[in-house]
Structures are given as C-alpha cells and as structure tokens.
Chains A and B, each alone.
Chain A
Amino acid sequence: MRNAFPRIDLDATICAIATPPGQGGLGIIRVSGPNAIALTDRIFRGQSALLDCPGYTVHHGFIHDPASGMPVDEVLVTLFRAPRSYSGEDLVEISTHGGGVVLGRVLRALTDSGASPATPGEFTLRAFLNGRIDLTEAEAVGDLIAAKTEASAQAAITQLRGGLHEKVAFLRTSLTAVLARLEMGIDFTEEDLPVEETSSLAKRLENLKGEIAALLAGYARGRILRDGFQVVLAGPPNVGKSTLFNRLAQDDRAIVTDIPGTTRDILREYINLDGWPLCILDTAGLRDSLDTVERIGIGKTSEAIVRADGVIWIVDATRMPEDQLPPETVTNNSTPYLIVVNKVDALSSAADTDAILKRVGQSDPMHSVGPAPLLPISAIGGQGIEELLRVVAGWISTADASAREGAIAINDRHRAALTSAQAGVERALSALASGAELEIIAFEAKTASTTLGEIIGETTTDEILGEIFANFCVGK
C-alpha cells in the first residue's frame, strides 16, 4: 500500500480469508463492498434473510455451494452495515469451522456468486478511502497485522491511537510559531512589531531539531518491532552454525512465526527475546559452496552481514584459531559482533578453554583496539547459550536508544519525511547563522513544515497568518 496505488474498483465486492493459514479451531472470511450482504445471502441458509437484518447482528446457518446446492459448513455470520464497519462499507464476517479446505470452499462459493478476491491490504485501503482511518492509522493496521510479538502489537496500537499524529502535529505547531516570526519580519516590516532575536529563533529551531531527532530514534524501535532484530550467524564451514541455529530456535518455546527463508541461501527464524522479535539468520546454505574462509567476503552471506543488526561469528575450539578469524566486514563495522568459540565441550579442561580463548583473542586483527568480544559455548550441550542471548539482548537495548516509555515506532515513509524535515530545519539554522535573507530561512522552514504535514496528510498556510494576528498588534 505504501508503494503503488493499487488498481481498485470500489464498486466491486471483495472477499478474503481473514485468519492465518494452517489448521485452527475457527476460520473467518471477510466480505466487503456494496453487495457484501446480498452476495452472502445467496449462499447462506439461516432463519432469516440477511438483507433484512440490521448491522451488528450475528446469524446462525449454513453455507451452500451455489453450483451443487450442497452444504459446505455450519457457520456464524456477523453483519456490519456501512458506514459502521471496519472498511466503511457493508461488511460480512463468516466464521467457519477452521481448516483450509472448508475456508477455501466457502471462499469459492463467494467468488462463484460474484465476489472478487481481495488484494493484500485492500480492506484497510478501503477503510482509508472511506475516511474511516487516516494514513498513519492505515499504516499502523498493516503493522498490527504483521506484528510478531506483543511489543510489536503494542507499538502498532499506540500509533493506531494517533500517537504519531499527535507528535507530528505538535512539531508542526512549533514550526508554525517560528514561521510566524519569520513572516512577520517580511509581511509586516512597516509595523512596529517586536523583533525576535536571531539567537532566540535559532533556539526554537534547535529545539525542533532535537524533537525530530527523538522521533527519528523511534525508527530503530519501529523497524526492530516490525522486522525483528537481525542477527546473522556466520563463520567458516563446519563450526556448528546450524547446530547453534537449531539450538536457538528450539530453546525458545515462544517461536512466533515460521516464515521460511526468503532466499534459498539463508534460513531465518524468529524468536522472542524479552518481548523483542529476534530474527536469526543462518548462512548455512552457503557453506557448501565455500571452501575457504577468504571467500566468505562475497555473496549473500556478506550482504547479510552488512545488513545485520548484529553478527555472531562462530569458530571451532578444536581447530586452529588463526584460520577461522572474522573478515573485516564483520570487525571493521559499526554493527556489533560477538565471536563464539563453539565445541568447548570437546576440550579436555577449563585450562584448555582459557588457552584457546586467549589465542582467538590475540589472533583477532582488532585485538589491539580492544579485547575482542568472546564467548565459549557448546551448541550441542547448551553451555553458554544463556550468556549469548544476554549479549544479544544488550545489543537490542543499545540499538533501541529510544526504548524509554512511550516511544513511537515509525516506518520508512515517516522516517524519510522526518529526515527530510530535519535536514530542512538544519538548512534553516545554517541560513540563519550565515545571515541569509528572511525569505530564504522561511523557505527552508516552510519546506520542513510541508514535509511534516505529509506524514499526517496536511499542510496549511493560513495557520501562520493566524498565529501572527492572534499574538501581535498588526495594522498601521
């Protein structure tokens, strides 16, 4: 929905399965559009005709196949009438007895009767087009649906309640106050008005910059909540990456989804770490094609490392540490990394473990800068796994600088607009500092204000004049 405007025909009635795929106790199908109730009525046999029933009512009955006339399932049908429905249109929810097969048959019965299959997000898009929700809310619904943990859902709900809207509206009000003072110096120069000192204007702008930065910090949180904190497991072949991957996946009972890897080369698994969605990427698939450590610097693994929020580099305690060291893409990067020395259970004594750790540490090309982050583990025995997760949790809380109470998660669109608004405020500040003409400073500030308005879908000019007239004695 954030990219191309879908081709959408609002006269069509759409339907889709609303519950996640797989076996479940119940399944829900949603039907929305001008003929939602009539279409459902065609395949529904119950005590009363749905068309005659008011909204917010539930009806028991059976769905029949329109071709064969055979019953498909026993269902409960909930009616919502426009505009008091999620989409703002007539909307029907059909609760079936679970199962992909039954749901599929009900859906087919609907499409056979004239409904169109909904495109992804189309219910929300219709809600937006029908004025039920604003743009930020529409985005939040998308995030809520895709939420991977409770914290993700909570952040989406905060946004849905207008947290972002409120915050951005506040920023715009502050910017309007600045603009009013700038415009006063342009449009009312002949008036005997108080002149705001450059330093005071600069202070207002600095404050704004800080506020925008704080909102931007929410991006890290938003992205982590939405996409998970990405940790890549990497290392030379046969050091136990897959074992560690499976161990991490199995150890955590709170696996939220089982999204398969989007590429054949990288496996990913989501686990819940203290409420944070942690996404572990195993580069296992690549190892077969890699025969030397040097070659790891190319291809998908290397790309995954660059994109990762954290890297766990695995070495084998029973092999020469010098041959297993992480490449520069890992060590010479702002992304946090950890070297885990696996298979310590295969060593004969604790003294051996210390010795190998020391050797690994000294071989790390970065060891002169500071001690390499090292951790002995056994992926098979489970030793050190708890500590490993603590380290990763530490990474997450560092990344989420705004993890304080009430931070608002933002998405890419918000980030782009906020970044551009921030740049505008900065340009206004430097224009102010260099003694540029007022209308140039105003141009920058106005552009920033327009950009902020885009987040919530509004930008006004008259507010600035309104502010001037309200606060200053204008008029010769």
Chain B
Amino acid sequence: MTRHPHIVVVGGGHAGIEAASAAARMGACVTFISQDPRAIGRMSCNPAIGGIGKGQIVREIDALGGRMGYLADRAGIQFKVLNRRKGPAVQSSRCQCDRRLYQTAAQEDIAATEGITVATDSICEIATRGGRVTAAIGESGNVYTCDGIVLAAGTFLEAITHTGSEVKPGGRIGEPPATGLSAQLRGLGFDVGRLKTGTPPRLDGRTIDYSLCTIQPGDEPPIGFSRRHPIPISNAESCWLTYTTPETHRIIGDNIGRSPLFNGQITGIGPRYCPSIEDKVVKFAEKERHQLFLEPEGLGNHEIYINGFSTSLPADVQLMALRSVPALRNVEMTRPGYAVEYDYFPPTQLFSTLETKLVSGLFFAGQINGTSGYEEAAGQGLVAGINAVLLARGEAPFVPTRAEAYIGVMIDDLVTVGVDEPYRMFTSRAEHRLHLREDNAPERLSVHGHRVGLISTAELERVRERSEAVTRHARALADLFVPGHNLPFEGLKRQGGASAHDLLRIPGVSMRDLSSYGAEIAPMDESIASAVELAIKYGGYMERQNRQIDRFRRMEDERIPVAFDFSLLRGLRREAKEKFQKIRPATLGQASRIPGITSADVSLLMVHLHTRSRQIAAAPGRRFPSLRRLFHVKHHRLPING
C-alpha cells in the first residue's frame, strides 16, 4: 500500500489523457507513455466532442473531475445543443473543435499537471509476478516498474489500414501500429478479438461550393461543457449539409468489388450505427440520397471532414463518388478515407473497475475494450485511472452504477454483456434516462469525485448549496399563489388563480411566463431557474423513475462475495455456471443482466447466497427476498443481432 503509487498509462488518446491526469491529481507518480507525445490528444476521426448520449458522458467526466469538458471548451469553434426541441433528459451538447487547438490544449494540460512524466516508447510487454503487474516494458528496452498499468492503446494493437487494395500496417494514417503486445497478452491468457472502424476522406474547403449546401449554425449564445472551469467560448465556424445523388450510388455500386469491406479483405466487425457509405448504398438501396455533413477541422484551416462518407474504397473511386455531389463537383481530397482493423480485448474479461480479471493491477480503457468514440474512451480512462490508484492504495474501488451515470451504464454493458460491434453510447441504453441528464451531472457525481480526491470540498459544497437552492425555490413556488386575473387559462381565472408550482406544470408554461402573469418570484440565477422549472415540470416522472431506481438498487445491494465459488452452485445449469464463472458478477443485479441467464438461475444463486449468509451468520435477522421482487427488477439483456 502506498499513498503515491507509480502508475503507467499507455496511450495518449482520450482514455489515456483522463487516466494519467486523474491518477496524477490523486497523488500518483504517473509515467504517460506514447509512441509520439506530439500526437497526444489527436482527434483521429471527426473534429467534434459530445453528441446525443455522449454530451452526457462529457458532463459526467467534468463533474467527476476529468478533463474532456474543459479541453473541448478550449478548442470549441461551434457549439450546439442537440434534441433542443425534446425534453431535458435527452438534450445533448456537442461542439465542433479546432483539431490543433484540442491537441495543444490537451498537451498543455498534461504538461501543467504535477506528477506526470511523459515518455516516448511503444510498450510491447506487461511484466507480471504472482498474477500482479510489476512493470511495462518498452520496445526501447526501458522497464517502467509500477503498481498499476492503464492500457489505452486505442486502435493501434496489430492495426492495419485499408484504402482499396492498399493495405498498410498502422493505427492511424501515417502512424505505426503497436506490435507484439497483444500476442504477449494472449500468452497471459487473454482473449483477443478483431474489430474494424473507418473514417471519411478530408476535403479541401476551398474547392467546395457552399452555395449548394445548407448552413448549420451553432447556438447563440453558445453553451460550453465545463461547469467547473467555465471559459469564454464563441461560435467561430458553421457546419454545412449536402446530399449524395443517384449518380454517387451508381459509382459506388459499380466499384463495390474494390471495397475491402465487400471483397473479403476486411474481416473485423464494424459498427452498424456508423456504416460506411458503401454499406449504406448496398443495404439501403431504396434510399435516394444520404446526408453528408461538412465539418470544419479548425480555424484558418481549409480541411473539411465529410461526416457520412466513411469509406475504404480506393482513393480514385472516393474522388469520383465525391464529385458526383453538386456542391463537390470540383472538390479535391487532402487525404482519402480509410478503414482500420485492430485487436481488442472482449471486455467481459474485466471487472466493473476496468481491472482485468486475469492480471491484478492491469486496467484496460477505451477502444481496446471494443468501444468507439472519444467520450466513451475518456469515461473509461477516468474510471480506470481512478481505480488504478485506489487499488494500489488498498481503498474501496469507484464503480458508478447504471442509475448514477452513463459511464456506469457503459461499463456495466461492457463487462456484463460484452460487445459484438464497436460499442457506442445511446440514451436508449440507459434505463434511468430521465435521471441521467446533462444538467444534473454534478449533483449525481461530485460526491464520488470528492471521495477519490478529484473534487475539492469547497466545490462539493457549492454543488450541495446549489441543489438546496433549487429545492428551496421549488418549495417557495408551491406556496406562491398567482391571482387569476392575469392568467391566460379560463378555468384558472374562474377559480381565482393557482399556485406558481401548479402553473409551471402546465405544458408550455415557463418561469418567464410566471413573471408575466404577475407572480413575484424571488430573484435567482438563470441556471437555478431552469433547474427549478425542470424539477417541477417533470416532478411526477422523476418520482416514478426514482422508484424504479430504488428497485434496481435493491438487486445491486445484493452483493456476491468476490471469492464466491460459482462451481459450488449445485443444481445450476452448466451453461449458467460457465457464464457466472466467466463474468463473476459482483451483485445479483449484474448476474441477472448476463445474456442467457434465466430468472431460475438467479433465484438459485440467491438461495445459495442467503443460505450461506445464514450459515455464516453474517446477516442475522435479514429478511429473505421474495421471488416477486426478483422478477420485478430483472433486466435481462440480449446481444443485438441484426
């Protein structure tokens, strides 16, 4: 046990940045290893942070004391809230970033963090003793002895890029893969799988006819991500929308045999939610056009990212297809799109802390766990970095639950269900979505950030004060009577008026309207006003959601001892026994979410746990749970099958 453990973080992407930064700020000595430190914080794919379901993760990272929200605000050039016309639970922020600014901000942030030493190396071996990590060994021959390792190698393990028949080893265009490490880990007993992802070509913005595109401006005023480090932000750039044509589809169709995705050259599984343009043309032939979003890569940068045109077709076909779009008829590519195939470790090999079950002290985060997306990677990096330090210190781990955070939903999905395509967050993955909002991330998570040492006591106090203020104001509105004469509602007029609280519950009525009705509302901060409005408007739904959360918690509170021997479960189906042994669920709730596990299996496990606990007399007087309860909370998840 050491207060200042040595932690090695491998990989300078979004997961690595959060892991290194969190571990260092918790007091660890961090060696942050990258093949090329100048590439730390590089955005491999689109130049944007956030999006639906992802914006929530960024806010959660910020609330826990992570960096992504702040970095995105620093690099942001266009800010937009998606789903603005929908309810608060599914509104998500997204910002377009200046790619170079983001990278600079990240590198400066790392440099400014005490306790991080950046090293240039490529790790090819994890040294272990007695099932515990002891060191990371680099190609340089350097041995980085440590108490914990966070491996965040992204798409670099044994990576191959494809552009048409052109196949090159590489994790990103122009960057070499990391070789040897996954073979060594396989030797340690890890399962290794293969996934594929892709990126579209980049265009020269000076060759685009924007008059044939629709402008997609940012929101005014722009809203940033970080509530902890608010900085001035502005919308400096816009995005543009255009469409493919039947001619585009014909060109792609004619050349489909030259796509590595269709000629058998690529075997890794790609994401269904982010299909390549050739996939879209083939699978949805009835669609006459597909959207193409033109996103600026930065200020004073002519490069344009063409979202919706991910492809691994040969470069000449890419150019031909692009030029069949009217706005792009004279376009030049600055570089072609490509697909990348890489090794990943099926994440069911991890505990919910992101520590591997096979090697103590070894944590996996980001795309090597089969996820996609910067935000998903960063969320994992943060949790892995925190837990690496907590483990070395012998402290209780940090595992956000499904009812607390999107990060909790993601990690539980990964370690319990696993992935069969690159995993991306969607709000529909969260069963307690009404509670997991961007606006209440600090209220949900600051207490955890504080516990692990990333959030100061003063800051936590401010969060508490704010939520108390919201409660106080909401209560005051319930006591505030608004007389009827100014109300636009005939019924209430005749009644003589209504409480401000009841008025707010009427669809379409806002805090601002209340003042216009003549209600004398105590002055409050705008963000508090909107929180009060939300608490009142959705109060009924929140209450019902909270009851569901209580039910969920009861099953999560049924803990399974870490050393529990599932092979001793007599009467359990062999298939169920194997699954329990593989996943090693930490709670009855998690056990019930394992695909293929039936309610009978969980009941049997429960009976055994309670028989045991009675024998050990660990829980005297504890009531035996009922079957009813068990079936009410069961969330039985199946893998997606297309």
Q: Does A457 contact B (CB under 8 A)?
A: yes
Residues A475 and B274 in contact, CB atoms below 8 Å apart: yes
The residues in B between 75 and 122 inclusive whose CB is less than 8 angstroms from any CB of A are: 82-83, 86-87, 89-90
Q: Kindly state whether residue B521 has any CB partner on chain A within 8 Å.
A: no
Query: Which residues A138-197 have CB closer than 8 A to chain B?
Result: 179, 183, 185-192
- Please state if A186 and B570 are interface contacts (CB–CB under 8 Å): no
Write out, one digit per residue, whether chain A residues 1-39 have a CB within 8 A of any chain B CB (1) or not (0): 111110111110000000000000000000000100000
Find B637's partner among A190, A434, A461 (CB 8 Å cutoff). Answer: A461
- The docked-state distance in angstroms from the alpha carbon of A461 to that of B635 is 8
CB pair B90 A463 closer than 8 Å? no
Distance in angstroms between the alpha carbons of A446 and B89 in the assembled complex: 15
A183 and B280 CA atoms in complex are apart in Å by 20
Instruction: Tell me which residues across on chain B come within 8 A of A443, comparing CB atoms.
Output: 433-434, 541, 544-545
A186 close to B642 (CB less than 8 A): no
- Tell me if A313 counts as interface (CB < 8 A to partner B): no
Q: Is B308 an interface residue (CB 8 A)?
A: yes
A277 to B436, CA, bound (A): 52
Q: A183-B428, A189-B83, A190-B82 are in contact. Are A462 and B639 (CB under 8 A)?
A: yes
- Bound-state CA distance A2–B632 (Å) is 13
Q: Which of B275, B431, B573 is in CB contact (< 8 Å) with A461?
A: B431
Identify whether the interface residues of A are mostly helix, strand, loop, or mixed. Answer: loop
Q: Is B599 an interface residue (CB 8 A)?
A: yes
Contact across chains for A11 and B426 when beta carbons are under 8 A apart? no
**Within B4-53, which residues are at the interface with A (CB < 8 Å)?**
52-53
Contact check, A9 vs B52: say whether CB atoms are below 8 A apart: no
CB neighbours (8 Å) of A185 from chain B are 86
Which residues 80-136 of A sit at the B interface, judged by CB distance below 8 A?
88-89, 126, 128-131, 133-135
Is A473 in contact with chain B by the CB < 8 A criterion?
Answer: yes
Q: Decide: A469 near B631, CB < 8 A? Known: A131-B601, A135-B599.
A: no
Scoring A residues 428 to 470 as 1 if CB is less than 8 Å from chain B, else 0, what string do you get?
A: 0000001111111011001100100110011111111110011
> Are A436 and B507 in contact, with the CB atoms below 8 A?
yes
Nearest chain B CB to A432 CB, angstrom units: 13
Complex Cα–Cα for A186 and B636 (A):
23
Interface string of B601-642 (1 = CB under 8 A from A): 101100110010000000000001111101110111111111
Residues from chain B with a CB closer than 8 A to the CB of A440 are 87, 541
What are 11 contact pairs spanning A and B, CB under 8 A? A4-B624, A10-B608, A130-B600, A131-B600, A134-B598, A134-B600, A187-B426, A438-B87, A459-B635, A460-B638, A473-B275
Distance in Å from the Cβ of A307 to the closest Cβ of chain B?
A: 24
- Complex Cα distance, B548 from A128, in Å, reads 26
Complex CA gap A292/B400 in Å reads 69
Q: Are A187 and B428 in contact (CB under 8 A)?
A: yes
B-side interface mostly: loop
Pick the residue among A2, A135, A464 that contacts B428 (CB under 8 A).
Answer: A464
Q: Is B227 an interface residue (CB 8 A)?
A: no
| Inter-chain contact A186/B86, CB cutoff 8 Å | yes
Instruction: Tell me the minimal C-beta distance from A419 to chain B in angstroms.
Output: 14
Which listed segment binds A: B161-169, B254-262, B285-293, B333-341?
A: B285-293
Identify which of A89, A186, A438 gathers the most chain B CB atoms within 10 Å of its CB.
Answer: A186
A404 in the interface (beta carbon within 8 A): no
Q: Determine whether the beta carbon of B82 is less than 8 Å from that of A470.
A: no
**Nearest 5 pairs between A and B by C-beta?**
A437-B87, A457-B599, A473-B284, A458-B636, A466-B640
Q: Could you tell me if B426 and A465 are in contact, using CB atoms closer than 8 angstroms?
A: yes
Asked if A189 and B429 sit within 8 Å, CB to CB, the answer is no
Given contacts A131-B604, A439-B434, A475-B279, 8 further A-B contacts (CB under 8 A): A5-B626, A129-B600, A129-B607, A436-B507, A443-B544, A457-B599, A469-B273, A475-B280
Given contacts A129-B603, A183-B428, contact A3 B571 (CB under 8 A): no
Specify which of B82, B280, B289 is in contact with A189 (CB 8 Å cutoff): B82
B86 contacts A437, CB within 8 Å? yes
The reply on A474 being an interface residue by CB < 8 A is yes
B427 touches A187 (CB 8 A): yes
Q: Are A128 and B639 in touch, CB under 8 angstroms?
A: no
B571 touches A476 (CB 8 A): no
> In the complex, what residue of chain B is closest to A441 when comparing beta carbons?
B87
Note all chain A residues with C-beta closer than 8 A to B507. 434-436
Q: What does the 1/0 interface line of B266-309 toward A look like (CB < 8 Å)?
A: 00000111110001100110010111010000000000000110
List chain A residues, Cβ under 8 A from B611. Answer: 9-10
Shortest B376–chain A CB gap in Å is 14
Assembly CA distance A442 to B627 (angstroms)? 28
Which residues A299-324 have CB closer than 8 A to chain B?
Answer: none
B636, A453: Cβ atoms under 8 Å?
A: yes
Q: Mark B500-544, 1 if CB is under 8 A from A, else 0.
A: 000000010000000000000000000000000000000001001
Contact B293 A476 (CB under 8 A): yes
Once the chains bind, are A469 and B601 in contact (CB under 8 Å)?
A: no
Please indicate the chain A residues that have their CB under 8 angstroms from the CB of B64 in the complex. none
Tell me if B159 is interfacial: C-beta within 8 Å of chain A.
Answer: no
CA distance A442 to B86 in the complex (A): 12
B386 within 8 A of partner (CB): no
- Which of B284, B287, B433, B640 has the most chain A CB atoms inside 10 A of its CB? B640
Name the CB-closest residue of B to A190.
B82
B640 proximity list for chain A (CB < 8 A):
462-463, 465-466, 469
Convert A407-429 into 0s and 1s, putting 1 for each residue whose CB lies closer than 8 angstroms to a CB of B. 00000010000000000000000
Point out the residue from B283, B541, B607 that lies within 8 Å of A8, measured CB to CB.
B607
Least distance between A394 CB and chain B CB atoms (Å): 37
Q: Who on chain A is nearest to B638 by CB?
A: A460
Q: Are A473 and B287 in contact (CB under 8 A)?
A: yes
Assess whether B576 is interfacial by the CB under 8 Å rule: yes
CB pair A131–B636 under 8 Å, yes or no, is no
Contact B598 A131 (CB under 8 A): yes
Question: Which residues from chain B contact A459 at a C-beta distance below 8 Å?
Answer: 634-636
Closest beta carbon of chain B to A38's beta carbon, Å: 16
**B417 close to A (CB within 8 Å):** yes
Chain B residues, Cβ within 8 Å of A465: 426, 428-429, 640
A131 touches B638 (CB 8 A): no
Q: A9-B611, A186-B52, A469-B273 are in contact. Are A462 and B571 (CB under 8 A)?
A: no
Measured between beta carbons, the chain B residues less than 8 angstroms from A442 are 428
Q: How far is the CA of A475 from the CA of B89 in the complex (A)?
A: 22
A194: min CB distance to chain B, Å? 10
User: How distant is A427 from chain B, measured CB to nearest CB, in Å?
Assistant: 10
Query: Please, how many angstroms separate the alpha-carbon atoms of A465 and B87 in the complex?
Result: 20
Instruction: Determine how close the nearest CB of chain B comes to the CB of A133; give it in whole angstroms.
Output: 8
Most buried by A among B608, B625, B627, B634: B627
Considering the chains assembled together, what is the distance between the CA atoms of A149 and B626 in angstroms?
31
CA distance in complex: A434, B570 (Å): 53
Interface core residue of B426, B573, B632 (most chain A CB under 10 Å)? B426
Q: Is the CB of A476 within 8 A of B636?
A: no
List, in ascending order, chain B residues with CB within 8 A of A454's CB.
631-632, 634
Q: In the complex, which residues 556-586 of chain B have their Cβ closer than 8 Å to any Cβ of chain A?
A: 570-573, 576
In the bound complex, residues from chain B placing their C-beta under 8 Å from that of A2 are 627-628
CA distance A466 to B544 in the complex (A): 27
Which of A7, A88, A434 interacts with B571 by CB under 8 Å?
A88
Complex contact A439–B280 (CB within 8 A): no
Asked if residues A470 and B642 are in contact (CB atoms below 8 Å), the reply is yes
Most B-side CB within 10 Å, residue of A126, A189, A470: A189
Query: What's the Cα separation between A185 and B293 when bound, in Å?
Result: 19
A462 to B417, Cβ gap below 8 A? yes
**Which residues of A are found within 8 Å of B310, using beta-carbon distances?**
475
Give the interface centre of A134, A183, A460, A461 by most chain B CB atoms within 10 Å: A461
CB-defined contacts of A186 to chain B, threshold 8 Å: 52, 83, 86, 90, 427-428
Q: Closest approach, in angstroms, between the C-beta of A63 and any C-beta of chain B?
A: 27
**Distance (Å) between the CB of B309 and the closest chain A CB?**
9
Q: Give min CB distance, B285 to chain A, whole Å.
A: 10
CB neighbors of A among B413-462 (8 A)? 417, 426-429, 431, 433-434
Contact A476 B291 (CB under 8 A): yes
Closest to B289 in A: A192
B434 and A473 form a contact (CB under 8 A): no
| B273 pairs with A474, CB closer than 8 A | yes
